[in-house]
A and B are shown apart, each in its own frame.
Chain A
Amino acid sequence: MPALRAQVHGVSKKMGRAQALKQVDDGFGAGQVHGIIGPNGAGKTTLIRVLAGLLHPDEGRVEYDEAEKLISAADVKRVTGYFPQEPSLYPDLTCREHLEFFRDLYDLPQAPFEHRAEELLHATGMAPFADRPAGKLSGGMYKKLGLMCVLLNRPKLLLLDEPTVGVDPVSRQELWDLVYSFAGEEMTVIVSTSYMDEAGRCSQVHVLSDGKMLSSGMPNDVMRHFGVTDFAEIFLKNE
């Protein structure tokens, strides 16, 4: 089962009074780790939500295909996994209960579920905390639990909205390691971040500013395009 490719065609979206996305055209190639970088208010969350099918573009459209085969909009939620930026787990439910809840939501049979849950708990190092309520997890562990929930279904497109905000550098490193260990032939990853120093960790970066997609490509190519040596400079120069 190959990873999903997403193609964004001329997407515009207004949120309240603000024009959050302005004619965004972009492609997210299969199997890669994409970073949408931009300051707060650039439209990152809106773009991720559009990609997750939780917002509908005012103009333009998003196409998903799997090995050149188009996926219908109705089926997209089955093959994508999305973890929002804001806390979104149930503080009173334990890690294991979260996994079981998502098992049912995704209609996973018990045996493959158990295997997958073990694999995820092991990979994230969360096995010792399986019975701890989400409300008592540290910032980094909380994000890892969220990641496990959405990875249960083996999504072909994983969307993470600012997964590293407020997370300590150690957990941040671990989250990136996890992302790379699951990305590849079977999964495309799109991560948004407002930490400019994280741009270099992605295989493809997409620079979003004020609702417009300024540039996308390999990190070094994008920096060369802007004539900078550091991603923060892009936004300072654009002032």
Chain B
Amino acid sequence: MNKNDIVISVKNLVVAFGSFHAVDGVSFDVHRGEIFGFLGANGAGKTTTIRTICGILNPSAGTVTVDGADVSRSTAVLKPRIGYMSQKFTLYPDLTVRENMYFAGSLYGMSPQQIDERSRKLMDFIGLPQRIPDPVSHLSGGVKQMVALASSLLHDPELVFLDEPTAGTSPQTRVAFWALIRRLAEMGKTVFVTTHYMDEAEYCGRIALMERGKIVALGTPAELKQQFFPVKPLEISFSAPVQNQMREALKQAGISSAVFGNSLRVRAANRAALERVCAPFAGQFAVHETEPTLEDVFLQAVSRRENK
């Protein structure tokens, strides 16, 4: 992968709906063959950003270029190169898989032979049987998502946009789906994926954390953890029922902690201060270092932004 091979370049993007800035000054680059993860809660601005890059929404300010060409001026050229799996509409529930494929392919002007050949390859690729006679509404959620992915790949796009492809699916499906995404990237496709599952972000090459229209952190998962957690989070477990008292004492000292069942998690704290607070409880607890998660990173990034 050539690091300098930038496919998508977003500069100071603003998308406003009335006075509401859904995307509020966002800049980032996506490299060819990369899995670029876009993370954030519902309403953070992920879908709006994707739609702008795909050319179905116009930016209010800033620019989006794909291979150097401004997206809003070259949508016709761009669209055949993009595969987009939307989070809401994916497939017609009353049509069969084959009928859905034919429809999707015909939108890109593919011949029936081309569609047949491509869908055979894709069904192979996603590991589904060639002939599924049932209408899509009879398929399980996981299979449906796989088929939707196949239909967005039908015209062999270079850029694949997946908007929350794993929302509401089982852990098995999610693992299988991410394996497919990795293989797509290995085949040289650029995959742009959004999710609100923080644990999925670990599979991405680079991630952008989005919150209220802004990117609050950007980098590889390891870089971000290093950047936000030079000191690792702590887990305090208890051998006596002093959890609530300890939590209260920490709070008094300005150290926030989260209850995790029968232990407390302290994300960031001055070690000396922590030891002072804990001293009266000596012998009733144990402290371990834990690995930061991307959720920790997110919380840390947001709290830094708010403290600024």
The answer to the question of A197 belonging to the interface, with a C-beta cut-off of 8 Å to chain B, is yes
A167 to B199, CA, bound (A): 15
Contact of B261 with A197 in the complex, beta carbons under 8 Å = no
Distance to closest chain A CB from B19 (angstroms): 13
Contact of A40 with B41 in the complex, beta carbons under 8 Å = no
Contact of B42 with A139 in the complex, beta carbons under 8 Å = yes
Chain A positions within 8 Å of B211 at CB level: 168, 170
A139 to B169, CA, bound (A): 20
Contact of B170 with A195 in the complex, beta carbons under 8 Å = no
The answer to the question of A14 belonging to the interface, with a C-beta cut-off of 8 Å to chain B, is no
Contact of A170 with B302 in the complex, beta carbons under 8 Å = yes
Contact of B172 with A239 in the complex, beta carbons under 8 Å = yes
Contact of A200 with B260 in the complex, beta carbons under 8 Å = yes
The answer to the question of A219 belonging to the interface, with a C-beta cut-off of 8 Å to chain B, is yes
A235 to B43, CA, bound (A): 29
Residues in chain A within 8 A of chain B (CB atoms): 33, 39-41, 138-140, 166-171, 173, 176-177, 180, 194-197, 200-204, 218-219, 232, 235-236, 239
The answer to the question of B228 belonging to the interface, with a C-beta cut-off of 8 Å to chain A, is no
The answer to the question of B36 belonging to the interface, with a C-beta cut-off of 8 Å to chain A, is no
> Can you give 28 contacting A-B residue pairs, CB < 8 Å?
A33-B261, A40-B141, A40-B168, A138-B43, A139-B42, A139-B43, A167-B42, A168-B40, A168-B41, A168-B211, A168-B302, A169-B41, A169-B302, A170-B298, A170-B302, A173-B258, A173-B299, A177-B259, A201-B259, A202-B261, A203-B261, A203-B262, A204-B261, A219-B261, A235-B170, A235-B172, A236-B171, A236-B172
Contact of A39 with B171 in the complex, beta carbons under 8 Å = yes
Nearest first, the 4 closest Cβ-Cβ pairs linking A and B are: A168-B41, A39-B170, A166-B42, A235-B171
On whether A171 and B199 interact (CB within 8 A), knowing A203-B262, A232-B171, the answer reads no
Contact of B295 with A169 in the complex, beta carbons under 8 Å = yes
A194 to B171, CA, bound (A): 9
Chain A positions within 8 Å of B302 at CB level: 168-170
The answer to the question of B103 belonging to the interface, with a C-beta cut-off of 8 Å to chain A, is no
Within 8 A of A (CB), among B37-71: 40-44
Chain B positions within 8 Å of A203 at CB level: 261-262
Contact of B198 with A169 in the complex, beta carbons under 8 Å = yes
Contact of A139 with B41 in the complex, beta carbons under 8 Å = yes
The answer to the question of B222 belonging to the interface, with a C-beta cut-off of 8 Å to chain A, is no
Chain A positions within 8 Å of B293 at CB level: 197
On whether A176 and B258 interact (CB within 8 A), knowing A40-B141, A139-B42, A171-B41, the answer reads yes
A interface footprint on B172-202 (CB within 8 Å = 1, 0 otherwise) = 1001000000000000000000001111000
User: Which of A168, A176, A177, A201 gathers most chain B CB within 10 Å?
Assistant: A168
For the side of the interface on B, what is the size category?
Answer: 20 to 34
A202 to B258, CA, bound (A): 11
Contact of A218 with B261 in the complex, beta carbons under 8 Å = yes
Chain A positions within 8 Å of B41 at CB level: 139-140, 166-169, 171
Q: In the complex, what residue of chain A is closest to B294 when comparing beta carbons?
A: A169
Contact of B259 with A180 in the complex, beta carbons under 8 Å = yes
A167 to B259, CA, bound (A): 18
Chain A positions within 8 Å of B42 at CB level: 139, 166-168
Query: Other CB < 8 Å A-B pairs besides A39-B170, A236-B172, 13 of them?
Result: A39-B169, A168-B42, A168-B302, A169-B298, A171-B41, A173-B299, A177-B258, A194-B168, A195-B197, A204-B261, A232-B199, A235-B172, A236-B171
Contact of A168 with B44 in the complex, beta carbons under 8 Å = yes
On whether A218 and B168 interact (CB within 8 A), knowing A139-B41, A166-B41, the answer reads no
Distance to closest chain A CB from B308 (angstroms): 15
A239 to B176, CA, bound (A): 12
Q: In the complex, what residue of chain B is closest to A210 when comparing beta carbons?
A: B170
Contact of A176 among B168, B259, B303 (CB under 8 A): B259
Q: In the complex, what residue of chain B is closest to A184 when comparing beta carbons?
A: B244
On whether A41 and B295 interact (CB within 8 A), knowing A176-B258, A201-B260, the answer reads no
A interface footprint on B97-128 (CB within 8 Å = 1, 0 otherwise) = 00000000000000000000000000000000
Contact of A218 among B43, B175, B259, B262 (CB under 8 A): B262
Contact of B141 with A201 in the complex, beta carbons under 8 Å = no
On whether A196 and B199 interact (CB within 8 A), knowing A169-B299, A235-B172, the answer reads yes
Distance to closest chain B CB from A208 (angstroms): 12
Chain B positions within 8 Å of A139 at CB level: 41-43
A140 to B42, CA, bound (A): 10
Chain B positions within 8 Å of A196 at CB level: 171, 199
Within 8 A of A (CB), among B274-308: 293, 295, 298-299, 302-303
Chain A positions within 8 Å of B298 at CB level: 168-170
Chain A positions within 8 Å of B258 at CB level: 173, 176-177, 201
